[in-house]
Chains A and B, each alone.
Chain A
Amino acid sequence: MTIGIGGWGPRRKPMALVRELLRSKLKDLTIVAYGGADVGMLCAAGKVKKVVFAFVSLDFIPLEPYFRMARQNGAIEVMEIDEGMFLLGLKAAAMRIPFIPTRIGLGTDVLKYSPQIKVIDSPYDDKAWVAMPALPLDVALLHVDRADARGVCQICGPDHYMDDLFARAAGKVFVSCDELVDSEFFADPGQARQVFWERAQTTGVIHLPGGAHPSSCAPRYGFDVKHFKEYAASAKEAGGWAQYFERYVACGEAEYLNRVGGMAAVGQLPLPVF
């Protein structure tokens, strides 16, 4: 199964949904993400067959420790592409076309290590063009600020990243939200302006306050530096992942929120300064 995960690095990742994946029996997953701890945790748990990525990073911890380990052990397949090619792949899937032509990737080893990405001739000029293939997703997992029960989703942070394209590229889209609101909420045009895809793209919504933690959900909460440091430190110890899993994943979401200090603590996490 191919699962796309929204957000960007340590920012607005649907981490509660990712923890649910970690607790599930699913495996052999192809993960498509602008990656952060979502990718790292799924690698650590042995859920991943292949990662489609441009980077996997926690920003202030530049190298994601468990993704790094999986790569250096040769444990996963990868399709490594440019951040913009990634956008084009999602866009092509969203448009139901097989590829989008681009110059990105020409002259680089992106093409060497992903030979399924073809270089083609153009009907309009004599240059080489990369045919960036569509990246269709079986499922997309996203986290948003607010949603209503019909799947109208609102992102209040300064950047919605490529979440709209993930929603359009996927067969099914499951969205966690910090706040569940009545549809009336979106009657205000200022609120409706922050809705980036139509509710027809949303398969299901689940109300999970703090559902992006330990990643950020600006402007509500920043990413949890202390938690990420503990997570990264666990990768340096034998059995470190098993301990992290036991403490923060196996316990379920209600207890997870308790163990990270409850919404009161999450809501106080300062917004990152870049």
Chain B
Amino acid sequence: MSDYKLVDLIICAAAQAWRDDGEVLATGIGVVPRLAASLCMKTVNTDLMMTDSEAWLVSEPVPVGPRGAYKPRLETWMGFSRIFDNVWGGRRHAMVGPTQIDRFGQANISCIGPDYRRPKAQMLGVRGFPGNSINHANSFFVPSHNSKVFVAGEVDMVASIGYNPARLPKGYTFADIDIRQIITNLCILDFDGPDRQIRIRSLHPGVSVDDVVGNTGFPLCVPNEIPVTPEPSEAQLALLAVLDPHNLRASALGA
């Protein structure tokens, strides 16, 4: 095994999120999710569709950062209006980075603080979270696993629907909501606990259950046996070097 960084392990683990999705649009927002989707498309699910992050579907993932002589291999126009056509049809799995996540998997990127009319910190706004969360599969990436992200109670502004029985719309069941995984700098979480409780799926090498539980603002499902997140393979690392020629991932977990 050659040297690898934590971020490499995270990307390779996150890449498995789309493994069994078949022919869907994989959208990774931010360097880590985008590289994860790219790696997945190059390895375990070559049927995935990706965009150039602007207006075209591409037949192979576009390396991140300045492109030099590389020209994206376009295959289909995919402006924003068509992205919504795709979203509403449900053939998409997005991996996004919320500011807050609660025990129901409800997520927030809108604003922070108890007073919506005068937020303590205005963030991006809900963006596409409401539509994504009720139309297609979603996973989350959290670069810094702590209880400011994984909050007690509910997130300050519920921007995406989660497995919250109190908010389930008329005629809906949990089967209509599809939140897959949360990949953090400590572990991978899923929603396979009792009643969709968030569960520790794997721990990154050297991370303990206490590290995760102590940095999460709500109770987690902790199985008796928890696997260690697999280390990246030589082949994965070689592909990552091509997909991220400027090593932008080096700073993707924060300073």
A residues near B, CB below 8 A? 8, 35, 53-57, 62-63, 67-68, 71-74, 80-85, 87, 102-110, 112-113, 119, 125-128, 157-162, 273-274
Contact = CB atoms under 8 A, between A and B. Distances in A.
A274 B127 contact: no
Contact of A56 (B125, B131, B162, B164): B125
Contacts of A125: 171
B158 A109 contact: yes
Nearest to A57: B124
A106 B169 contact: yes
Given A80-B126, A274-B53, A128 B170 contact: yes
Contact of B131 (A57, A74, A82, A128): A82
Interface of B: 52-56, 65-67, 77, 79-81, 84, 87-88, 110-111, 115-131, 133-135, 157-162, 164, 167-172, 177
A169 B160 CA distance: 27
The A interface is mostly helix, strand or loop, or mixed, namely: loop
A128 B169 contact: yes
B130 A72 contact: no
Nearest to A53: B125
Given A83-B127, A84-B128, A109-B159, 14 more contacts: A56-B125, A68-B122, A74-B117, A80-B125, A84-B131, A105-B130, A106-B130, A108-B129, A109-B116, A112-B158, A128-B169, A128-B170, A273-B66, A274-B54
Among A108, A127, A158, max chain B CB count under 10 A is at: A108
Nearest to B157: A109
B120 A72 contact: yes
B117 A108 contact: no
B172 A273 contact: no
Nearest to A68: B122
Nearest to A91: B81
A159 B172 contact: no
A257 B123 CA distance: 32
A267 B101 CA distance: 43
B209 to A, nearest CB: 31
Given A56-B125, A126-B170, A161-B79, A84 B53 contact: no
Contact of A73 (B118, B121, B158): B118
Contact of B80 (A57, A62, A74, A162): A162
B133 to A, nearest CB: 8
Contacts of A102: 88, 131
A105 B135 CA distance: 10
B81 to A, nearest CB: 6
A159 B55 contact: yes
B63 to A, nearest CB: 10
Contacts of B126: 54-55, 80-82, 108, 110
B164 A107 contact: yes
Contacts of A119: 169
B170 to A, nearest CB: 4
B94 to A, nearest CB: 12
Contact of A71 (B119, B127, B162, B167): B119
Contacts of B134: 103-107
A84 B134 CA distance: 12
Contacts of A158: 54-56, 77, 79
A106 B80 contact: no
A83 B167 contact: no
